[in-house]
């Protein structure tokens, strides 16, 4: 057999019969300064029996036998070129040119050894103390199996490797994004659209672009840790599936206008049902629609349609508002006119009744003293007919000489009646 080193030189293995019917080595090669092997059988090396080789032991048919074998448990031995030994006359090999140093360990007393072991045991036991934060729960695992759940505070468990503790944050609200990704929280914030998630088919066979944010927290930490793998991806997939199912039952007009709140509530309920089926140990806190719009290719046309619908709704609302304002006003005016008519009717009736009563009283007085009553009625009538004029009343027989008593050239408020007349 021949061994070829890294430099390409061949080394013949002397004393080995290549014709023996034994499993041959697959190959022997020198790697740097180490000899390694490949094949089904460990290599045999021509080392002296008394050579101190670390990690190797020799087995041979005889110490001077050319077939002595040195086995190395590590799988490689040092190259014999470095040992620089030569074959002695008469057979055999010489000693290597170096000796391995011997290591002398210090003597340790049993008491000191016990103390060291005790201190190490105390340190090991002390490493089992741990603290659970206010927003956490402690999940104690013994050889990987859940054995206890601890509340916030200071606790102790058997140290590793017997037990370990996981402390998930049960009050932290986590979120996932459907249809977009946040590149930079900003300000200003920057987002990237994910069309494969946001484009969905509505119930009336229209395509709509929807962005969604789902917020959730841990409800059952044991199920959260051990029931589902890759939980964030599971929540994202379940959220997308729930949203697509809800949108598939809606018309695009509802999703774009008045149906957003109902879509959010239905998606939240359906997502919670899916997570409960998976026993994920999560509670959905909120489901919020971010942007709901048609695809970019037809967004302008949809905006025109939406604007027309908004104008329609605005006109209807304005008409309803005008009707709501004018009808009460007209009804108020009608009521006012009715009340005024009723008041006028009552007034006329009362006045007529009063005048009738007064006339009857005057008639009774007239029947008792006709001349006096007739004169009083005449005077009262003159007062009513000529309220702004000065009136001079003359006795019968004084009409022949009226001119001297007329107030000619005098002030309007001055009178000179000479004891004959009376100014009223």
Q: Where are the domains of the chain?
A: 2-83, 130-172, 185-293, 390-424
Per-residue model confidence (pLDDT) at position 5: 42
How far is the C-alpha of 85 from the C-alpha of 48, rounded, in Å?
10
Spans of the chain below 50 pLDDT: 1-85, 411-424
How far is the C-alpha of 289 from the C-alpha of 273, rounded, in Å?
19
Write the DSSP assignment of 7-60 as a string of letters: TS-EEE-TT--TTS-S---SEEEEETTEEEEESSS-------TT---TTEEEE-
Please state the pTM of the whole predicted model. 0.49
Segments of 198-281 assigned E as strands: 199-201, 207-218
390 close to 424: Cβ distance less than 8 angstroms? yes
| CATH fit for domain 185-293, picks 3.30.465.10, 3.30.479.30, 3.40.50.970, 3.30.1330.40 | 3.30.479.30
Cα 383 off chain centre by: 92
Number of Cβ atoms within 10 Å of the Cβ of 424: 12
Would you state the structure tokens that stand for residue 392, as one six-digit string? 């001079």
Tell the residue number behind the tokens 């729960």, with chain if given: 137
Q: Kindly report, residue by residue over 292-323, the tens digit of the pLDDT.
A: 888 888 888 878 887 888 899 999 999 999 99
Segments of 143-280 assigned E as strands: 145-150, 153-156, 163-166, 174-178, 180-184, 190-193, 199-201, 207-218
Q: Kindly report, residue by residue over 227-258, the tens digit of the pLDDT.
A: 888 998 999 999 999 999 999 998 888 888 88
Per-residue model confidence (pLDDT) at position 407: 60
């Amino acid at each position: 057999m021949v061994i070829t080193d890294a430099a390409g030189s061949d080394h013949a293995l002397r004393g080995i019969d290549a014709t023996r019917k034994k499993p041959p080595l697959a190959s022997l090669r020198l790697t740097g300064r180490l000899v390694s092997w490949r094949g089904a059988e460990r290599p045999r090396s021509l080392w002296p029996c008394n050579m101190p080789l670390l990690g190797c032991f020799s087995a041979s048919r005889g110490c001077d036998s050319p077939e002595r074998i040195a086995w190395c448990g590590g799988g490689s031995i040092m190259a014999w070129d470095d040992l620089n030994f030569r074959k002695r006359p008469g057979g055999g090999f010489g000693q290597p040119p170096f000796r391995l140093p011997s290591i002398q360990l210090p003597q340790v007393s049993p008491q000191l050894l016990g103390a060291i072991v005790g201190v190490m045991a105390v340190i090991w036991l002390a490493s089992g103390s741990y603290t659970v934060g206010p927003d956490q729960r402690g999940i104690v695992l013994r050889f990987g199996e859940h054995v206890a759940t601890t509340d916030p505070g200071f606790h102790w468990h058997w140290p590793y490797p017997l037990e370990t503790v996981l402390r998930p944050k049960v009050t932290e609200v986590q979120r996932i994004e459907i249809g977009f990704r946040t590149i930079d929280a900003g300000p200003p914030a920057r987002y990237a659209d994910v069309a494969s998630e946001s484009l969905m088919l509505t119930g009336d066979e229209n395509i709509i672009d929807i962005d969604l944010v789902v917020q959730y927290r841990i409800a059952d930490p044991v199920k959260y840790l051990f029931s589902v793998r890759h939980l964030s991806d599971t929540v994202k997939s379940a959220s997308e599936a729930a949203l697509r199912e809800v949108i598939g039952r809606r018309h695009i007009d509802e999703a774009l206008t008045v149906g957003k709140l109902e879509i959010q509530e239905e998606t939240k309920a359906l997502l919670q049902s899916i997570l409960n089926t998976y026993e994920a140990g999560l509670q959905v806190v909120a489901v919020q629609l971010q942007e709901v719009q048609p695809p970019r290719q037809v967004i302008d046309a949809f905006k025109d349609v939406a604007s027309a619908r908004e104008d329609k709704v605005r006109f209807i609302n304005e008409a309803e508002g005008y009707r709501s304002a004018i009808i009460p006003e007209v009804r108020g005016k009608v009521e006012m006119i009715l009340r005024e008519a009723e008041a006028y009717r009552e007034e006329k009736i009362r006045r007529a009744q009063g005048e009738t009563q007064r006339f009857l009283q005057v008639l009774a007085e007239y029947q008792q003293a006709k001349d006096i009553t007739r004169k009083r009625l005449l005077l009262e009538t003159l007062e009513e007919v000529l309220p702004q004029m000065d009136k001079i009343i003359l006795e019968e027989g004084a009409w022949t000489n009226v001119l001297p008593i007329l107030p000619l050239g005098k002030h309007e408020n001055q009178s000179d009646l000479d004891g004959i007349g009376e100014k009223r």
